[in-house]
Amino acid sequence: MDGTTLRAAILVTVLLLAPLLALMHRRSGSPRRKLPPGPVPLPVVGHLHLFKKPLHRTLARLAARHGVVLGLRFGSRSVLVVSSAQAAEECLGAQDVAFANRPQLPSGGILSYDWSTMGTTNYGPYWRHVRRIAVTEIMAAHRVDHFADVHVREARAMARGLFHAARGAMGQRARVELKSRLFELLLNTMMGMICEKSHHGAGSVTIDAGVREEARWFREMVEAAMTLSGASTVWDFLPAALRCRWLDVGGVGRRLWRLRESRTKFLQGLIDEQRKEMEKGEEGRRRKMIGALLSMQHKDPEACPDQLIRSLCISSFEAGTVTSADTIEWAMSLLLNNPEVMLRAREQMDACIGEPLRLLEATDLPNLPYLRCIIMETLRLYPPAPLLVPHESSADCTVGGFYIPHGTMLLVNAFAIHRDPQLWHEPASFVSERFEDGRNGDKMVIPFGMGRRRCPAEQLGMQMVGLALGTMIQCFDWERVEQDLVDMTEGSGQTMPKHLPLEAFYQPRASMALHLPRIE
């Protein structure tokens, strides 16, 4: 929603609801309690007028001015923003249960099938049921190992596609826009895990125009979901009158419902296809996520209906594509700006694999600590969810000595915590060595959240990112397109994309020339 639309919404809101202001601000007669400090809110809209993109930087500036425990109002909703490791530990450590709920934002109600996904549902029996299924079928250590062949296959398919594109450049450097390639790679990876279907041919020498269009459509669908939902979207906090169908300021509601319909059609198509294949007796399908869930459904239809399968699938697709692609793109941007770091990672990789060189395997990752340091430093500087996924208090509590009423939305500014100069030396600099030999392991780095609502897919995500990034480093020499450093400006939304997609020059390494043409 742009500034003009927001100003119009504020004006309409004030005109509609001004007569109610006196009632809203009437004193309850109860003793005053010490609330978190913050800027003076406007009537009705609160602090929505302060929304400047990217929101995580705006909130960091407000915290620097008012305090690391900050009180705001997004419309009529009370919001607590914490921007220090101590405050985050208090909320998601000592008071983890009190902040285990999720705010029931309107956009989430539309896109997550009435808040039924693992990331949007409130803490309780249903959440435990969904999480148990997700961990068992996707994220447990044995399942991560089981999917390693898919991760390796798709990373190599991308390398094959890049190799053939470079060969078409007649031995010269080839130029590539990485975000599209990375998204296709990760979409293929997730399709392989979910239903054993390599969907978009990221490694093909020539990619069918229809396939490329389908990949573009899916990417736009996922990115739209990230943009239209979450705490960074003003629409979620407007009064209901401005979100109803006959007014729908900015048309956000209509876009959300169209997006839900498209996603439902896509996901249900995958489920129906897998059901038909399993009815034919293809046992291999049961090894993949949808097949395993359909087997559970066959035993107990009420415990695993199609809607739950759709919820688990869309959560996996969103977490496994956009956020992982963003992380790899940020890592490559940092490496292009620091080529000596890329060289050191490659040298460790070559030494680990030995002679003759072979292509990277998942089993090599534990023996590549410097690659992991690069990924951790990337996640510190550019966490995929800079404000984490919002929490909500289920009971009155106290944070930093301030009273927090139940129903308060909690935003943990991981971006600010990861760059806190009181915690980190040169906090804005890319220093991958800071994580070597377990150093700084006691400092808070929370790209996957913390507490009982921590993302359980950390090991899976690290394997996918490690194999993709490691394969790119191992197989190709990379250079910046311009002499100037890569632009590191952040985009906006629920995640943290780059403002400008990364383009780079690359050439196949001479030592890999025998391997790349034979990748299967």
**352, containing H or E segment:** helix 339-353
Closest to 193 in 3D by CA, of 143, 229, 262, 231:
143
Q: According to the annotation, is 313 in a ligand binding site?
A: no
Detail the DSSP E strand segments found in 148-268: 174-177
Contact between 456 and 134 under an 8 Å Cβ cutoff? The reply is yes
3-state SS class at 443? coil
* Residue/partner pairs of 429-435 with CB below 8 Å, 24 or more apart: 430/334, 430/337, 430/338, 430/341, 430/377, 430/381, 431/377, 432/341, 432/370, 432/373, 432/374, 432/376, 432/377, 433/373, 434/373, 434/377, 435/372, 435/373, 435/376, 435/377
Rounded (5°) CA angle 454-459-465? 115
Residue showing tokens 């963003």: 326
**Which pair of tokens denotes residue 144?**
């991560």
d(CA 262, CA 197) in angstroms, rounded, equals 19
**390, containing H or E segment:** none
d(CA 50, CA 208) in angstroms, rounded, equals 45
Distance set, CA 244 to CA 106, 239, 251, 253 (Å): 11, 9, 10, 8
d(CA 341, CA 127) in angstroms, rounded, equals 42
d(CA 109, CA 102) in angstroms, rounded, equals 11
**Phi then psi for 404, rounded to 5 degrees?**
-120, 110
Question: Which residues line the annotated binding site?
Answer: 455
Question: Which residues line the annotated binding site for heme?
Answer: 455
